[in-house]
Structure 1
């Protein structure tokens, strides 16, 4: 049973997430032979204030 965890920065629409889930599921099924109903996907939306690069959060200027 494949379990996929995806972390995204906030701001994607539900439609974008739905399409991503569809395509990721198809890729997992195609490459592993798993049944579609066995694929689980967990999406975590992160606030830009909770993600940092180079010592600065994405909300810092």
Structure 2
């Protein structure tokens, strides 16, 4: 029984997550790894303040990008 673990930052709609689960499941079935009833997909959403790359959280990076965009449009 394959178990697929997907970790994302928060912010996607329930419909987008549901669509992703379906597409991942279909890909595993298509690859003939396992039948659909045996596939498990676990989606974990992490707050943007708890996910960092290079000591900068996603929230900080997005805030910096927003500030840069505001300065550019002024």
Q: If the length of structure 2 is used for normalisation, what is the TM-score?
A: 0.76
Task: Kindly state the Cα deviation for residue 58 of structure 1 after the two structures are TM-superposed.
Answer: 1.7
- Output the aligned Cα RMSD: 1.1
Relative CO higher for 1 or 2, CA cutoff 8 Å, sep ≥ 6? 1
Q: Report the number of matched residues.
A: 61
Q: Greater CA radius of gyration, 1 or 2?
A: 2
More strand by share: 1
Counterpart for residue 51 of structure 1? 51
Which consecutive unaligned segments of at least 5 residues does structure 1 have? none
By percentage of residues, which structure has more helix? 2
Runs of 4+ in 1 over 2 A off after TM superposition: none
